[in-house]
């Protein structure tokens, strides 16, 4: 019952020029409309995966195949806020629209909406240096959402946010995703968040970075706060937590490819 593949990373390796093997023979297919969370120990190559998908930097080997959508319809929330220090919040958020050729007035409404989504009304004219860390990250999120992307890559977007804002943005994101049938790849360190949001959780192990678990979260959308209290939710969390521990252990394995095949590889719903 799979939808068509949005993109496929096939046998991808990435060796940085200083010799660090960030990814090693990684295979990953993400299907259209999936909400995939990517978990793994710090430095295991999650950001590198997103960068490869976004076409930032060359792969050392392997291929990236696109389905019907393409890199063109992609938005990316970087791990760092990456705002232009010389531009106001408004202008930072408007950037993707400006680059797409929209006039300022045409962009205004979408920008206002995106800023409202991350609750930064009143700060339109502020410069990044006048914002708190979390606010900066929210500007970055608004900038990604403003384009109405088909594919959304998010690298720990909510890590710097308080629980309230975070859960608000979680449900906002789910709503948007439900409406638009986006494909989302979401890096997070929060297992609960991953399970709550996604219909698939991919766990990576470190150096060389590779997929060690791929868990389908078979719970229906829309998901309410109650979902968080169900036994199913807790089971998934425990399951993934275990995978993560195993992933940490496996890092030291001498033949990483062996252990990959031994891990549970579920297909998404």
Partner 1 sequence: MDNLFDVPRQPEASAPSSESGQPSQLQRLLSPDILAPILVGLLMLALWELGVRLTNTPPYILPGPILVLQTLVREWGTLFPSLLITMKITLFAFLAAVVSGLLVSVLFTQSKWIERSFFPYAVILQTTPIVAIAPLIILWVRQLVPGTASTFVSLVICAWLVAFFPILSNTTLGLNSADHNLINLFQLYRASRWQTLRYLRLPSALPYFLGGLRISGGLALIGAVVAEFVAGTGGTSSGLAYQILISSFNLQIPRMFAALLLTTVLGILIFVLLTMLSDRLLRHWHESAVRREN
Nearer to its own copies, 31 or 51 (CB): 51
CB 56 within 8 A of CB 134: no
Q: Which of 15, 166, 171, 216 binds its own copies (CB under 8 A)?
A: 166
Subset of residues 16 to 35 that bind partner 1, contact rule: CB under 8 A: 16-20
Q: Three-class SS string for the chain?
A: CCCCEEEEEEEEEEECCCCCEEEEEEEEEEECCCEEEEECCCCCCHHHHHHHHHCCCCCCEEEEEECCCCHHHEEEECCCCCCCCCCCHHHHHHHHHHHCCCCHHHHHHHHHHHHHHCCCCCCCCCCHHHCCHHHHHHHHHHHHHCCCCCEEEEECCCCCCCHHHHHHHHHHHHHHHHHHCCEEEEECCCHHHHHHHCCEEEEEECCCEEEEEEEECCCCCCCCHHHHHCHHHHHHHHHHHHHHHHHHHHCCCCCHHHHHHHCCECCCC
The binder of 129, among Mg ion, ligand ATP, its own copies, none, by C-beta within 5 to 8 A per type, is ligand ATP
Q: Which of 156, 170, 211, 212 binds its own copies (CB under 8 A)?
A: 156
The binder of 86, among its own copies, Mg ion, partner 1, none, by C-beta within 5 to 8 A per type, is partner 1
Q: Which of 130, 133, 162, 262 binds Mg ion (CB under 5 A)?
A: 133
Instruction: Tell me how far, at minimum, the Cβ of 203 lies from partner 1, in Å.
Output: 14
Subset of residues 52 to 81 that bind ligand ATP, contact rule: CB under 6 A: 79
CB 39 within 8 A of CB 189: yes
Give the C-alpha distances (Å, rounded to integers) separating 196 from 14, 16, 219. Answer: 30, 34, 9
Instruction: Tell me how far, at minimum, the Cβ of 204 lies from ligand ATP, in Å.
Output: 7
Tell me how many residues contact its own copies (CB under 8 A).
Answer: 37
Tell me how many residues contact partner 1 (CB under 8 A).
Answer: 49
82 binds partner 1 (CB under 8 A): yes
79 binds Mg ion (CB under 5 A): yes
Instruction: Tell me how far, at minimum, the Cβ of 18 lies from its own copies, in Å.
Output: 6
127 binds partner 1 (CB under 8 A): yes
Nearer to partner 1, 24 or 200 (CB): 24
Nearer to its own copies, 160 or 216 (CB): 160
By C-alpha distance, which of 154, 144, 38 is closest to 83? 144
Strands 183-187, 151-155: pairing kind: parallel
116 binds partner 1 (CB under 8 A): yes
Residues making contact with ligand ATP (CB under 6 A): 16, 18, 20, 22, 40, 42-48, 79, 129-135, 207
Residues making contact with partner 1 (CB under 8 A): 16-20, 41, 43, 51, 54-58, 72, 74-76, 78, 80, 82, 84-87, 95-96, 98-100, 116, 119-123, 125-129, 147, 164-165, 168, 206-207, 248, 251-252
């Amino acid at each position: 019952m799979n939808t068509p593949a949005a993109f496929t990373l096939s046998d991808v390796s990435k060796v940085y020029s200083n010799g660090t093997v960030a990814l090693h023979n990684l295979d990953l297919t993400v299907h259209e409309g999936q909400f995939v969370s990517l978990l793994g120990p710090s430095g295991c190559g999650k950001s590198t995966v997103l960068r490869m998908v976004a076409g930032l930097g060359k792969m050392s080997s392997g291929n990236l195949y696109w389905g019907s959508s393409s890199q063109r319809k992609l938005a990316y929330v970087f791990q760092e806020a990456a705002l232009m220090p010389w531009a106001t919040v408004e202008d930072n958020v408007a950037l993707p629209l400006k680059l797409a050729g929209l006039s300022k007035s045409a962009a205004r409404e979408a920008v206002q909406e995106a800023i409202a989504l991350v609750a930064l009304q009143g700060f339109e004219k502020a410069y990044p240096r006048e914002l708190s860390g979390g606010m900066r990250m929210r500007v970055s999120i608004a900038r990604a959402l403003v384009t109405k992307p088909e594919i959304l890559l998010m690298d720990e977007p909510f890590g710097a946010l308080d629980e309230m804002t975070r859960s608000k943005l979680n449900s906002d994101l789910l709503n948007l995703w439900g409406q638009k049938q986006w494909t989302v790849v979401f890096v997070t360190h929060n297992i609960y968040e991953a399970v709550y949001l996604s219909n698939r959780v991919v766990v990576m192990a470190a150096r060389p970075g590779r997929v060690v678990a791929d868990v389908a979260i078979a719970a229906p959308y829309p998901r309410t706060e109650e979902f968080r209290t169900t036994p199913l939710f807790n089971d998934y969390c425990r399951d993934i937590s275990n995978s993560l521990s195993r992933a940490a252990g496996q890092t030291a394995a001498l033949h990483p490819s062996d252990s990959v095949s031994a891990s549970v590889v579920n297909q998404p719903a």
